[in-house]
């Protein structure tokens, strides 16, 4: 077992080194010591789970087991089971870069319908060959350092049975304590969220945890547990997601078309116009999306805008239904069967034609199922693309995920041209994604000049979007359309401000009307999030009926110079985050763990917990938000009037 502890700790070192830029800038000796203490707690639990059968077989008080063949089998059992745990840890060292947390058992559901997973894993084996070598070296340590007992010393008398029984009896309570993570009676067994007590930032909890523990502890767990923070009456008084009295005013333009472009991995960092302070001041940082920069000058955008999740599955419910990710993606829970509205079903009832476009396999990521559940009338995926004689079919497939963005966005325009006005069209791009390839004809001209492999992909997607808008601008429906551009989540980062607990969620949210009906402006005060998109669009379209969304109408965020309704929410590794005003509050479900003035302290270095009067009000609001979300998920009340 000491050998198992050693190799697990070494795999943690590999995890840390692979994600050095995320963790190293914030490390200190005190934090390192705290992490290691926590790591021993979680490794103990995981290793006792993994080696439970081995330990029982080793300690059985039966002399029949004292044979060479039996112990040879035990050695294989020990090495194989622990090698599986090691593989999980090292694979997560790579996957962590896209999720910001250790994987749970839902990862198997997340990729259940993806036929390219084997190809992706093999590609990553080649890209991260050093982790493969590390795995082989650690398995060799497991095998070489395993010590089989010297069978010739055994005497099978009563002393043998007594000693074996005592060993087994002693081991059972020790194992229970180790698995629970505490010797204190009455305490709950440790869970994933307990890792936060050993770190300063939620993202650092992944260093303390190990992937087998996260997997095992999430098996059969109910994602949504309704807390009892307050009475239902108090909860409703503090916060409700029901927008009972939507407004229609001079900013409303009934009958306009809507095109929502969800751009894969378009982090705010990649856009020069949204980062005037990077690299020495205005004009020094150009970014990687010149077309988006040009569009910003004609659009409504926000200085502080955030994703509600870290993976693509989190984005669709947030953007299209106003439902943020909380604990787990809705796609991966029984709540996916709830009655849910979305902007598509709302507008369809108002006479809109609706369609969803995504260049991946039609069952990819569960997008088609969710699009259907929220009322999209048509779905255009890889199957439909390949049926069109106008394009190259599977020759345009990127080999891993989807059709390249450039041809698929042109195909999207073909579909839009066939739609009856007014229409809602939503497209989810795919090319700015791991494994960070671009079409062959662009491989010499597009390079990762900023040091991150994704930069060339972002440039390619920017070019594809420019050609999309160039063609669309000649269509008769163009000037009667509201365009929304938003990322699903962030991706690879280079600057420290985008590696913080808040920076990991920083994305652009852009509203563009070609006819200028929505006055271009860059809002430097309001807080925007993905769940605000549906409420804001419904205001722009003059919708006045009640609806449900865990977001705000951004057109009502101001009353003159005063900021009114403006906040953002996200969740990571057991920590709930609320952004409001100039404060970021982090809450572990029981208590506030951190408060930062993120506007003046963008690297989140000064924890002001317990020092600000606003903390109590923010915590109360966040509790009401969590309780509303959990209770409505569990009670199937995701529509107004329920």
Q: What is the DSSP string of 601-635?
A: -TT-----TTS-THHHHHHHHHHHHHHHHHHHHHT
pLDDT of residue 379: 94
Are 306 and 440 contained in the same domain?
yes
Looking at per-residue pLDDT, the higher value among 472 and 449 belongs to: 472
Are 277 and 141 contained in the same domain?
no
* Residue 118 domain-assigned (yes or no): yes
pLDDT of residue 185: 45
Degrees to nearest 5, angle at CA 551 with 545 and 556:
70
Are 176 and 264 contained in the same domain?
no
- Domain finish residue from 155, 187, 218: 218
Looking at per-residue pLDDT, the higher value among 400 and 342 belongs to: 342
User: Which range, 160-164, 627-631, 637-641, has the best average confidence (pLDDT)?
Assistant: 627-631
Q: Give me 92's structure tokens.
A: 């997560």
The pairing of strands 299-306 and 481-487 is unpaired
Using DSSP's 3-state secondary structure scheme, residue 98 falls into helix
Dihedral sign of CA atoms 247, 249, 255, 257 in order = negative
Looking at per-residue pLDDT, the higher value among 9 and 160 belongs to: 9
Query: Is residue 149 predicted with pLDDT exceeding 80?
Result: no
Query: Is residue 282 predicted with pLDDT exceeding 70?
Result: no
* Residue 641 domain-assigned (yes or no): no
Average pLDDT value for residue range 400-424: 96
- What is the pLDDT confidence band of residue 186, given thresholds at 50, 70 and 90? very low
Report d(CA 305, CA 487) in Å as an integer: 10
Are 399 and 274 contained in the same domain?
yes
Report d(CA 508, CA 190) in Å as an integer: 37
Percent of the chain's residues with pLDDT above 70: 95
Lowest mean per-residue pLDDT among 231-245, 282-296, 585-599:
282-296
* Residue 374 domain-assigned (yes or no): yes
Q: Is 162 exposed, middle or buried (0-12, 13-18, 19+ CB in 10 A)?
A: exposed
- Domain finish residue from 165, 193, 218: 218
Express each pLDDT in 548-565 by its tens digit: 999 999 998 877 666 778
pLDDT of residue 468: 98
Are 190 and 132 contained in the same domain?
yes
Are 267 and 137 contained in the same domain?
no
The pairing of strands 567-572 and 353-358 is unpaired
How many structural domains does the chain have?
2
Question: Which candidate, 320, 506, 485, 342, places its Cα nearest to that of 409?
Answer: 485
Helix spans in 374-514 (H): 382-387, 405-417, 454-472
How many residues are listed for the chain in this entry? 642
Query: Is residue 187 predicted with pLDDT exceeding 60?
Result: no
Query: Is residue 370 predicted with pLDDT exceeding 90?
Result: no
Query: Is residue 144 predicted with pLDDT exceeding 80?
Result: yes
* Residue 600 domain-assigned (yes or no): yes
Average pLDDT value for residue range 281-294: 87
- Domain finish residue from 192, 218, 244: 218
pLDDT of residue 584: 97
Question: Which candidate, 505, 497, 508, 494, places its Cα nearest to that of 602?
Answer: 497
pLDDT of residue 22: 86
The CATH number covering residue 265 comes to 3.40.720.10
pLDDT of residue 188: 67
Average pLDDT value for residue range 184-202: 73
Going along 361-504, which residue ranges are E strands? 378-380, 423-428, 481-487
Report d(CA 355, CA 375) in Å as an integer: 9
* Residue 354 domain-assigned (yes or no): yes
Query: Is residue 11 predicted with pLDDT exceeding 60?
Result: yes
Looking at per-residue pLDDT, the higher value among 152 and 629 belongs to: 629
pLDDT of residue 606: 95
* Residue 639 domain-assigned (yes or no): no
Are 472 and 593 contained in the same domain?
yes
Range of the domain at 54: 2-218
* Residue 228 domain-assigned (yes or no): no
Are 101 and 11 contained in the same domain?
yes
Omega before residue 422 within 30° of 0, cis: yes
Question: Which candidate, 483, 260, 245, 257, places its Cα nearest to that of 350?
Answer: 257
* Residue 22 domain-assigned (yes or no): yes
Percent of the chain's residues with pLDDT above 90: 64
Residue indicated by tokens 């259907």: 372
Query: Is residue 599 predicted with pLDDT exceeding 80?
Result: yes
pLDDT of residue 101: 80
Q: What CA–CA distances, in Å, run from 145 to 40, 87, 208, 315, 592? A: 20, 19, 25, 47, 45
Are 201 and 301 contained in the same domain?
no
Are 212 and 263 contained in the same domain?
no
Dihedral sign of CA atoms 378, 382, 385, 389 in order = negative
Q: Is 169 exposed, middle or buried (0-12, 13-18, 19+ CB in 10 A)?
A: exposed
pLDDT of residue 97: 81
pLDDT of residue 461: 97
With a threshold of 0.85, does the pTM exceed it?
no
Are 517 and 454 contained in the same domain?
yes
Residue indicated by tokens 């669309």: 472
Average pLDDT value for residue range 576-604: 95
Report d(CA 70, CA 132) in Å as an integer: 30
Are 303 and 245 contained in the same domain?
yes
Average pLDDT value for residue range 226-240: 96
């Amino acid at each position: 077992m000491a050998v198992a502890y050693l190799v697990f700790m070494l795999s943690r070192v590999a995890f840390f080194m692979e994600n050095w830029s995320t963790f190293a800038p914030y490390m200190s000796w005190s934090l390192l010591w705290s992490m290691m203490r926590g790591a021993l707690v979680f490794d103990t639990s995981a290793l006792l789970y993994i080696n439970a059968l081995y330990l029982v077989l080793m300690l059985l008080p039966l002399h029949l087991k004292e044979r060479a063949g039996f112990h040879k089998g035990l050695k294989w059992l020990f090495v194989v089971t622990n090698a599986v745990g090691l593989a999980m840890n090292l694979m997560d060292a790579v996957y962590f870069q896209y999720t910001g947390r250790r994987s749970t058992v839902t990862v198997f559901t997340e990729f259940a319908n993806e036929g390219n997973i084997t190809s992706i894993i093999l590609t990553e084996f080649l890209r991260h060959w050093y982790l493969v070598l590390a795995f082989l070296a650690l398995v060799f340590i497991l095998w070489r350092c395993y010590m089989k007992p010297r069978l010739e010393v055994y005497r099978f008398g009563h002393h043998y049975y007594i000693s074996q029984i005592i060993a087994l009896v002693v081991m059972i309570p020790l194992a229970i304590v180790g698995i629970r993570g505490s010797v204190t009676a009455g305490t709950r067994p440790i869970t994933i969220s307990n890792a936060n007590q050993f770190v300063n930032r939620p993202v650092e909890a992944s260093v303390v945890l190990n992937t087998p523990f996260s997997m095992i502890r999430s098996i059969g767990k109910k994602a949504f547990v309704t807390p009892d923070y307050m009475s239902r009456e108090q909860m409703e008084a503090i916060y409700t997601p029901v927008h009972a009295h939507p407004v229609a005013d001079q900013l409303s333009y009934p009958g306009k078309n809507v095109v929502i472009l969800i751009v894969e991995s378009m982090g705010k960092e990649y856009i020069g116009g949204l980062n005037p302070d990077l690299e020495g001041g205005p004009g020094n940082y150009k970014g990687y999306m010149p077309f988006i920069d040009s569009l910003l000058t004609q659009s409504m955008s926000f200085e502080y805008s955030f994703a509600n999740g870290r993976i693509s599955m989190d984005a669709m419910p947030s953007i299209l239904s106003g439902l943020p990710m909380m604990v787990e993606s809705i796609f991966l829970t029984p709540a996916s069967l709830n009655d849910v509205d979305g902007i598509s079903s709302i507008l369809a009832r108002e006479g809109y034609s609706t369609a969803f476009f995504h260049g991946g396999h039609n069952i990819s990521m569960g997008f088609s199922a969710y699009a259907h559940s929220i009322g999209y009338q048509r779905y255009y995926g890889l199957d439909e693309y390949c049926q069109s004689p106008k394009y190259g079919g599977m020759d345009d497939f990127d080999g891993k995920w989807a059709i390249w963005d450039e041809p698929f966005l042109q195909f999207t325009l073909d579909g839009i041209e066939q739609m009856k006005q007014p229409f809602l069209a939503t497209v989810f791009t795919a090319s700015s994604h791991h494994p960070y390839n671009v079409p062959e004809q662009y491989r010499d001209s597009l390079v990762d000049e900023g040091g991150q492999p994704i930069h060339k992909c972002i440039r390619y997607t920017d070019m594809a979007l420019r050609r999309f808008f160039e063609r669309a601008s000649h269509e008769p429906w163009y000037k009667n359309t509201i365009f929304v551009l938003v990322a699903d989540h962030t991706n690879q980062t280079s600057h420290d401000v985008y590696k913080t607990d808040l920076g990991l969620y920083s994305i652009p949210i852009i509203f563009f009307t070609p006819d200028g009906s929505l006055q271009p402006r860059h809002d430097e005060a309001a807080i925007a999030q993905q769940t605000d998109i549906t409420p804001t669009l419904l205001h722009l379209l003059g919708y006045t009926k009640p609806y449900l969304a865990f977001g705000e109408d951004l057109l009502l965020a101001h009353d003159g110079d005063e900021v009114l309704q403006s906040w953002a929410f996200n969740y990571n590794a057991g920590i709930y985050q609320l952004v409001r005003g100039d404060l970021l509050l982090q809450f572990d479900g029981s208590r506030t763990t951190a408060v930062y003035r993120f506007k003046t302290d963008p690297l989140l270095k000064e924890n002001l917990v317990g020092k600000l009067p606003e903390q109590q009000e923010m915590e109360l609001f966040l509790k009401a938000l969590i309780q509303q979300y959990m209770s409505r998920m569990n009670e199937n009340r995701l529509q107004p009037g329920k």
